[in-house]
Amino acid sequence: MHSVNSNGANIPALGFGTFRMPGADVLRVLPEALKLGFHHVDTAQIYGNEAEVGEAIHNSGVSRADIFLTTKVWVDKYAHRDFLASVDESLKKLRTDQVDLLLLHWPGGSDVPMAERIGALNEVHKAGKVRHIGVSNFNTAQMEEAVKLSDAPIATNQVEYHPYLDQTRVLQTARKHGMSITAYYAMANGKVPSDPLLKEIGARHGKTAAQVALRWLVQQKDVITLSKTATIDRLKENFAIFDFALGDGEMAEIHALARADGRIVNPEGLAPVWDKAA
């Protein structure tokens, strides 16, 4: 698996996501994912499973130094004092003295000024509690603002990205600042595995539609993707995307699936005004 260099952060291109994964599932599936070679793990305070992620990593036999671990600060902890305390709590739950990447989870849901949020991110970075900092669900204007306010480089913007959603503008802004984008919801809430075009392209390569979508993401420059499954058998399928490549024509065909109503995740009060498709 290749890594994506994002302002000095070498992030494995394929990660294991734990969104909506109960602790029991994390304890059952994450050890198998780590054994298989998933060494990029993504969690968040709001997921309620940081302790189980920490336990699974601690007991996995895989060196902590070999794992790229991301967590996210929830919107109710953006005030400086709450932010610092919440990071200490996350580290305790994750059984580590440092996470590799810390993200602001959503731009909305808080009246704390952006300068204070970014300031707190920089403070925990300077204190050595996080190796790299980033954002999640930011539009391009917010990305620009975060970059201006931050002393430390912003590594990534974690956003919804799949074949039905054009993220060209966000990706262009990320590249301009040496950042990556980390894609979540790669399966588009279950639409990807049954997509006729993706199945057809998969048949040419002896792969599934899901593998084609994941490959399409990681084959793009500066794009990382998270995959998630509670099924151990599917772990192997999700991981087996580095032994084939899509042609330029196939990449373009998949890009052409994007549509104006392709966005799935848009929680009121948390989400920004999204950029229009390029």
Q: Among residues 47, 78, 164, 185, which one is catalytic? A: 47
Q: Which residue pairs, CB below 8 angstroms and at least 24 apart, start in 18-25?
A: 18/42, 18/43, 18/47, 18/49, 18/53, 18/228, 19/44, 19/47, 19/184, 19/228, 20/47, 21/47, 21/49, 21/228, 21/230, 22/49, 23/48, 23/49, 23/51, 23/52, 24/52, 25/230
Would the CA dihedral through 149, 150, 155, 159 be positive or negative?
Answer: negative
- Active-site residue flag, 47: yes
* DSSP label of 47: G
What are the catalytic residues?
A: 47
